[in-house]
């Protein structure tokens, strides 16, 4: 058991029978009354943010979390994704709900999977900040139309629908932000 004196950013704790990651904290010593710790925590299952106040010195249960790099192998049906550990070649199946951007997964992509270390239970799967995807369908592009910020719909090789600038054509490779699905840039082919 630890206390509030052990708080640090990124520490994972068990609070109200759920796993939380401390995003930020602040020790407060008011003129009157006992000291306390104001925290901002993220739920590891729902990603919900909770602001909570702990009395200074209260006991907390620290949970050991590990991040491991895995490679995406294949998708089984609509909800199950299979990954392989790149160090020991162990394979694991993860539900779609644990993946931050499942629509942008391509075979061979590397991801970070967060595990509850004592239970060996996957908690979340995070793709890289951006991925390169091939456009398989979009309306024909307009040559020289780069001055406007107009966007058009496009379908990627993974089946995801994104908005791209008017000059993007089929078979172009684009970089996409996995956190919001926004187009970043066209990737030059060698």
Phi-psi region of 184 (alpha: psi -120 to 50; beta: other; left: phi over 0): alpha
Q: What is the mean pLDDT of the chain?
A: 88
Q: Is 32 helix (H, G, I), strand (E, B) or coil?
A: coil
How many other CB atoms are there within 10 angstroms of residue 73's CB atom? Answer: 16
pLDDT in tens, 118-168: 888 888 888 999 999 999 998 876 666 666 678 889 999 988 999 998 888
Predicted TM-score of the model (pTM): 0.76
Percent of the chain at pLDDT exceeding 70: 95
Q: How far apart are CA 140 and CA 14, in angstroms?
A: 53
Tell which wins on pLDDT, 4 or 38.
38
Q: Report pLDDT for 46.
A: 78
For residue 147, what pLDDT is reported?
60
Write down all domains in the chain, each with its CATH number in brackets.
2-62 (2.30.30.30), 65-126 (2.40.50.140), 130-187 (2.40.50.140)
- Confidence band, pLDDT 50/70/90 cuts, at residue 190: low
From 57, 76, 63, 66, select the one nearest 17 (Cα to Cα).
63
Polymer length of the chain:
190
What is the average pLDDT across 28-55?
89
pLDDT tens string 58-85: 999 999 888 899 999 999 988 899 999 9
The pLDDT, as a whole number, for residue 155 is 93
Look at residue 56 and give its three-state secondary structure. coil
Residue 157: count of CB within 10 angstroms of its CB: 14
**Model pLDDT for residues 90-118, shown as the tens digit of each residue:** 999 999 888 888 999 999 999 999 888 88
Backbone dihedral angles phi then psi of residue 104, each to the nearest 5 degrees: -110, 10
């Amino acid at each position: 058991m630890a206390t509030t004196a052990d708080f640090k950013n990124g520490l994972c704790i068990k609070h109200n029978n759920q796993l939380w990651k401390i995003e930020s904290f602040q020790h407060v010593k008011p003129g009157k009354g006992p000291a306390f710790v104001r925290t901002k925590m993220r739920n590891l299952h729902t990603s919900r943010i909770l602001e909570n106040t702990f009395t200074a010195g209260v006991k907390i249960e620290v949970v050991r979390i590990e991040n491991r790099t895995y490679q995406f192998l294949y998708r089984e049906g609509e909800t199950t994704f299979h990954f392989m550990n790149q160090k020991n070649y162990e394979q694991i199946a993860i539900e779609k709900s644990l993946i931050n951007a499942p629509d942008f997964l391509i075979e061979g992509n590397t991801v970070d999977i967060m595990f509850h270390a004592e239970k060996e239970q996957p908690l979340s799967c995070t793709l890289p900040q951006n991925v390169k995807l091939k456009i398989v369908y979009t309306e024909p592009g307009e040559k020289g139309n780069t001055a406007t910020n107009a966007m058009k719909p496009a379908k990627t090789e993974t089946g995801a629908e994104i908005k791209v600038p008017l000059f993007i054509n089929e078979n172009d490779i684009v970089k996409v932000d996995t956190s919001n699905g926004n187009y970043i840039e066209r990737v030059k082919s060698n």
